[in-house]
Amino acid sequence: MDTLSITQTGAPPEKDPVDRRAGIETLLSRQSHWPLVEPGPNDAELDLIFDAALRAPDHGRLRPWRFALIRGEARAALAEVLVDVAAARAPGEPRAAHEHRRQKAYAAPVIIAMGAAISSATGIPESEQLLSVGAAAMNMLNAIHALDYGGFWATGIDTYDANLKAALDFEPSDSLLGFLFVGTPASRDRTALRPPRTLHVREWLGPSCV
């Protein structure tokens, strides 16, 4: 029997351990980058990034993931919104005092607002639905890194502002969980060190004796 027939009818050939290690090395080398500059991901690359998000664990198949993609000229509209919502939080101050807020809209070529559509009718805890969106965010950050871009997950006061959530066309019942800033790292000189595993990992061998 030739090799082709064996491959088709038998067990698939084992992967090269070097190839498996390469995938892990990609994960291990991911870190947050700031600042971020042009270029950002193109349409095909953004499709891959969002496809990675939609592979996140999802208890009950609720699909709570909601994303708003902001880029190009839409960043100017976002800049105005950021000033508006900041001014609304401080009605006693002049709007000009919040003009610096518009800079956030231009901090990266691409901004992804991340929301969670929480279902209260399923019996699945809200925390699990939020965690699913968090897992989707991590999948996106890994995909962004694998495509050789930089990503930065930011929250801050704007994340929890109902006026901003409404301006971004999320539903009133949605939770806004932050923003992914995506682009090309202005510098790759800094390397984030991973903490020692021993500070965060332990092996459980059964209940402790009392």
User: 33-72+106-186, what's its fold?
Assistant: NADH Oxidase (3.40.109)
In contact, 86 and 143? CB cutoff 8 Å: no
The CA-atom distances, in angstroms, between 168 and each of 49, 77, 102, 119 are 20, 10, 15, 20
Of 76-80, 108-112, 190-194, the range with the lowest mean pLDDT is 190-194
> In the chain, what are the domain boundaries?
33-72+106-186
The CA-atom distances, in angstroms, between 157 and each of 81, 125, 160 are 14, 25, 6
Distance CA 149, CA 39 (A): 9
Structure tokens at 30: 């991911």
Q: What is the pLDDT of residues 97-136, one digit of tens each?
A: 999 999 999 999 999 999 999 999 999 999 999 999 999 9
Quote the Cα angle for 138-78-33, to 5°.
35
Q: What is the pLDDT of residues 45-71, one digit of tens each?
A: 999 999 999 999 999 999 999 999 999
Quote the Cα angle for 70-57-114, to 5°.
20
pTM given for the model: 0.88
